[in-house]
């Protein structure tokens, strides 16, 4: 079970804010894959989160139940029998996850409408781990249904699951930390490389805008 840290004088966010390099008064979160839905949960429940970026993440809690105070958010249900195997022998499990909007999965949905700050969703269109496009759309519809602003969402055709910083090589497959098996991530080299370079710039611009009040940043160079 994942345990979400409480916001308190001795909590981890308070500790971060005490760092000399942190301007405050709020902090930004950046999460990828499972780390993304953890960031969504933190933004929804903890105070002091000013801006949140998620890269190819689910809008529901996944893999294990999450506990916060007296609340337990169950994990999104799945069926491992729905997986497929690529020609190279890699596991493709994008279709194993049930739809978060189904009645049986409502309790796994993260209450994004409770968040104080804005969101940026980075979405890969060739993601073979999560249905990232679907999850970003659900998040947008949920926020707007509760009177919140539509989140910024950026779509990258041809990019795979692992959006790393610019100039990192494309990781089309790797051994999954939980399953212990080689998993297919997707992505085409040229499109994925361009996505990583642009996403890095977009993330910095988003954080500078909502944390520092700046409208733009200088583009990075190799």
**Active-site residues: which are they?**
33, 127, 161
- Residues whose CB falls within 8 Å of the CB of residue 86, separated by 6 or more in sequence, listed in order: 92, 184
- The kind and range of the H/E element at 135 are helix 132-145
CA dihedral sign, ordered 25, 52, 105, 129:
negative
Q: Is 28 helix (H, G, I), strand (E, B) or coil?
A: strand
Torsion angle in degrees (nearest 10) through CA of 203, 122, 11, 15: -20
| DSSP letter, residue 178 | T
Q: How far apart are CA 91 and CA 187, in angstroms?
A: 15
């Amino acid at each position: 079970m994942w345990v979400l840290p409480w916001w308190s004088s001795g909590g981890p966010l308070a500790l971060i804010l005490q760092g000399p390099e942190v301007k405050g008064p709020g902090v930004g979160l950046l999460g990828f894959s499972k780390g993304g839905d953890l960031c969504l949960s933190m933004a929804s429940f903890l105070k002091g989160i000013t801006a949140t970026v998620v890269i190819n993440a689910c809008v529901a809690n996944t893999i294990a139940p999450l506990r916060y105070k007296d609340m337990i958010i169950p994990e999104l249900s799945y069926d491992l029998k729905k997986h497929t195997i690529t020609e190279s022998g890699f596991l493709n499990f994008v279709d194993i996850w049930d739809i978060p909007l189904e009645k049986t999965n409502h309790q796994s949905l993260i209450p994004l409408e409770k968040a104080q700050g804005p969101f940026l969703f980075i979405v890969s269109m060739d993601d073979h781990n999560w249905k990232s496009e679907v999850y970003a759309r659900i998040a947008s519809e949920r926020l707007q249904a509760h009177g919140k602003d539509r989140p910024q969402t950026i779509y990258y055709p041809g990019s795979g699951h692992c959006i790393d910083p610019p100039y990192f090589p494309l990781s089309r497959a790797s051994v999954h930390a939980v399953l212990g098996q080689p998993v297919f991530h997707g992505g085409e080299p040229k499109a994925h490389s361009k996505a990583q370079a642009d996403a890095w710039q977009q993330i910095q611009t988003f954080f500078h805008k909502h944390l520092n009040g700046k409208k733009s940043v200088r583009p990075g160079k190799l």
